Structure 1
């Protein structure tokens, strides 16, 4: 087994921050409740870097390009550090491919877990008022609505999560070789 604890530590720390940045991006795209305590924590964790970036990189519609650039930068830093620690080298195009594919992979992973939490909450605590449950619902609702336009419910049974899970799994398998 070729496991390096330094590589694992770098991946855990940077991927955790990437998760927070991607969550901020999704929260803004879905117009989730800004006053939710979890949203406030995410904003506080990312604002020191995103606010200066916003002065240079303007938003495009609802897309917060500063958050997107930060997410790509964190993923690029992850790839560069892992390549450096392992003593390898990549072509510049490979850095771009690993950065974009890795960011998309982590975004899909975030949605996968949000969907899984949403499905479990719908079974054990439908209509929960917990800030985390409300945030998960606000994040996943646009995906459900988009899928329900194509696949209608069958007598109260919503099959959209199954098709969304299949789509996410399919896309993650395509991107997996390029994610670090």
Structure 2
């Protein structure tokens, strides 16, 4: 019971923090303004939650082009800490090398889940035609993934089905990722 409670709490805290680190990475990659002057409330939220871990890492890890390696490493370290603590609490002996593998798969799973959530929010916001700054940010985050699908999938009765296709692709990716993780862990 204690393991389940700690597991839940670690999953929530590390999941939110590493997910926001990945969001920071992606928003910077997409060049979405995140400063207070830009009027982007999501950017302020992202900075408030991640500066404590990203800024010290940035002193050591320079960006590679548009890729903010400090944000990526922060997300990985948070996942590594989560799986490391769970590994120790489970009383697992040996096989500690599986923890970085679990962390890498956790990061990939978090990316797929985050994009799934963004696509769902985008689809809902597109139905209600809101003019909020958040709608513009979500559209800028999702649009690069929808563009290739929109090239091949025409509008059906004036309805854009590309978000639905992207959701199916993301779900298939999650299934494949789960099978790859199982296979990787069985190899060790």
- Per the shorter chain, which TM-score range? 0.7 to 0.9
Residues 69-148 of structure 1 aligned to structure 2 (within 5 Å): 69-89=73-93, 91-123=95-127, 125-126=128-129, 128-148=130-150
**Shift of the alpha carbon at 1:95?**
2.0
- What does residue range 158-173 of structure 1 map to in structure 2 within 5 Å? 158-173=160-175
> CA offsets per residue over residues 23-70 of structure 1, 9 Å max, x none?
111111222232201111211221122112112111111111111111
Distance 1:166 1:89, change over 3 A: farther
Q: 1:84 and 1:142 mapped to 2: Cα distance? A: 40
Within 1, Cα distance between the matches of 2:13 and 2:107? 15
Unaligned 5+ residue runs, structure 2?
183-188
Paired with 2:23 and 2:163, the residues of 1 have a C-alpha distance of: 20
Question: Does the CA contact (< 8 Å) of 2:154 and 2:160 recur in 1?
Answer: yes
**CA-atom RMSD in angstroms:** 2.2
Change (3 A) 1:151 1:53: same
1:175 aligns to what? Answer: 177
Alignment partners' CA distance in 1, 2:143 and 2:93? 42
SS of 1:32's equivalent in the other structure is coil
Count of aligned pairs: 177
Asked if structure 2 preserves the Cα contact closer than 8 Å seen for 1:121 and 1:133, the reply is: yes
Residue 157 of structure 1 deviates from its aligned partner by 2.6
1:132: Cα distance to partner?
2.5
**1:58, 1:66 within 8 Å by CA — same for their partners in 2?**
yes
Q: Can you list the C-alpha shifts for 1:99-148, whole angstroms capped at 9, x where unaligned?
A: 1111010010000011001111111x21x222322221121111111322
| Aligned mates of 1:151, 1:160 — CA distance in 2 | 7
Is the 8 Å Cα contact of residues 33 and 135 (structure 1) preserved in structure 2?
A: no
Alpha-carbon distance in 2 for matches of 1:89, 1:57? 33
Give the deviation of 1:10 after TM superposition: 1.4
